[in-house]
Amino acid sequence: MRPNTLGLLVICGLVGCRLHDDRDVAKSATRLDLARDFLRKHQLEAADTECNRALAFNPASDEAYNTRGLVAMIRALDIQRTLEIDACLTGVDAELTQRDLDRFLHTADRAFGEANRISPDYGEAWSNRGVVHNLLEDYTAAAAYLTEALANPMRLDSPGLTRAHLGWALFHEARYVDAAKELRQAVQFQPNMCVATYRLARVYFERQEWEKAAELFQTTSDDPACGSQEASLYLMKTRMQQGLVDDARRARDACLKLSPKSCIAVQCRAEGRALGAPAVAAHP
């Protein structure tokens, strides 16, 4: 070994050296662009592979870790759709599917956490981690991560959506005043945001503010862009509380029409049975 090479290795051992030159960073960025493109096309295996390649070139790429987390989170959401919407699974099938869902959520959490370890000011990674913990029903941690995301707005894609997620975490902690505050701000940022509108309606429902709840559930249920079966379910429940049987029946029928085999449809049938036979053909 040449003396100058030996000297360089000694210096690197003592003080540390950049292990990846600018060419590696550029190659990593190219792989990351491919990963994002595959992710947009819902080609999740290919997206994950390209994330791994991006990180092999540049292990300090916070954006590659964030994208890796998104891949795992979308896999979890796909499983959740199978579990709750495409077919309302029960028993052993539901248990095994839930395990797969949780596994992908924990994978996503680790990736987002690594992104934040590299860049503590990465608001979008904090926000994504909060979403994961909402899905894990770990609402205290979710609220903490989403609050941190809002404290780092320079690298946060959508403060309004992050507030909607924070409001949902606070809702599940029964902090209804705080939840309403965050959700109202989210609606102010984006008046047509389905998620924030539905969740604000849920706050009003829990507070038994039936008219306010009904108005927002109706808005979400009527909007084809939202496609919210849960909004129709809760609109039915709200109208029943108001004693408006015909309106409740219409909401029940709308609920059954969207995804007849879902767990929400099962609830619509069970809780709306007293309203009489549905006006739409629905699967048993």
Cα–Cα distance for residue pair 128/190, rounded to 1 Å? 19
Q: Residue 122: what pLDDT?
A: 98
Whether residue 22 is predicted with pLDDT greater than 80 in this model: the reply is no
Q: Residue 86: what pLDDT?
A: 82
Span 154-174, average pLDDT: 97
Of 130, 129, 137, nearest to 111 by C-alpha is 129
Whether residue 116 is predicted with pLDDT greater than 50 in this model: the reply is yes
Confidence of residue 246 (pLDDT cuts 50, 70, 90): very high
Question: DSSP character for 280?
Answer: S
Angle, alpha carbons 17-62-57 (nearest 5°): 55
Domains of the chain are: 24-174 (1.25.40.10), 192-284 (1.25.40.10)
Contact of 221 with 236, CB cutoff 8 Å = no
Whether residue 15 is predicted with pLDDT greater than 50 in this model: the reply is no
Q: Residue 276: what pLDDT?
A: 85
Span 110-136, average pLDDT: 98
Give per-residue pLDDT as tens, 43-95: 999 999 999 999 999 999 999 999 999 999 999 999 999 888 887 888 898 89
Which residues have CB under 8 Å from 66's CB, separation 6+?
111, 112, 115, 122, 124, 125, 128
Cα–Cα distance for residue pair 247/253, rounded to 1 Å? 10
Q: Residue 25: what pLDDT?
A: 93
Whether residue 2 is predicted with pLDDT greater than 60 in this model: the reply is no
Span 157-169, average pLDDT: 97
Written as six digits, the tokens of 149 are 């995301």
Span 189-193, average pLDDT: 90
Confidence of residue 20 (pLDDT cuts 50, 70, 90): low
